[in-house]
Amino acid sequence: MSGFSPSLPLTLDPGSPGYYLNKNMLEVVKQNFKNLVLTAPGERMMIPQFGVGIRNYLFQPNDSSTYSQIRSKINSQVKKYMPFISISDVQFISPDEGNDLSNGVNITIIYEIVPLSLSDALKIDL
């Protein structure tokens, strides 16, 4: 079975003697982009500046100032480590007030893989 890279998290593929694989470049880029957003600076060996560290914002105020910091960090990290991606929009959607999850936020990053002319969205719940 052929593919570009192992799909994370690693899961055994019962139809082959190995793990599930990313079958196209869209899946590879999306997985790498998600890793960039979720990795905290200092967490990756040999590249201490790598990562947005989205979980570092978990206990910050759920307001436009924090959203602006996150948006800026995402843009700067993409520019440095994934320059072939163009970010169209970063959307922050807060759950309704009065909901048990009113302190969370859903982040949707709409982007284009420029060399492939493919668009996609990465969704992260925080």
Instruction: Give the SS3 label for residue 118.
Output: strand
Question: Given this model, what pLDDT does residue 96 score?
Answer: 63
Tokens of 72: 């800026």
CB 33 within 8 Å of CB 85:
yes
User: pTM (2 decimals)?
Assistant: 0.86
> Residues 11-60: pLDDT tens digits?
888 888 888 888 888 999 999 999 999 999 999 999 999 999 999 988 88
For the chain, give the longest Cα–Cα distance: 49
**Strand 106-113 relative to strand 21-22: parallel, antiparallel, unpaired?**
unpaired
- DSSP per position, 44-69: STT-TT----GGGGTTS-SSHHHHHH
The CATH label, of 3.20.20.150, 3.10.20.440, 3.10.450.40, 2.60.40.10, for the domain at 5-125 is: 3.10.450.40
> Residues 48-95: pLDDT tens digits?
999 999 999 888 888 889 999 999 999 999 999 999 999 999 999 876
> What are residue 75's phi and psi, to 5 degrees?
-60, -45
The domain locations on the chain are: 5-125
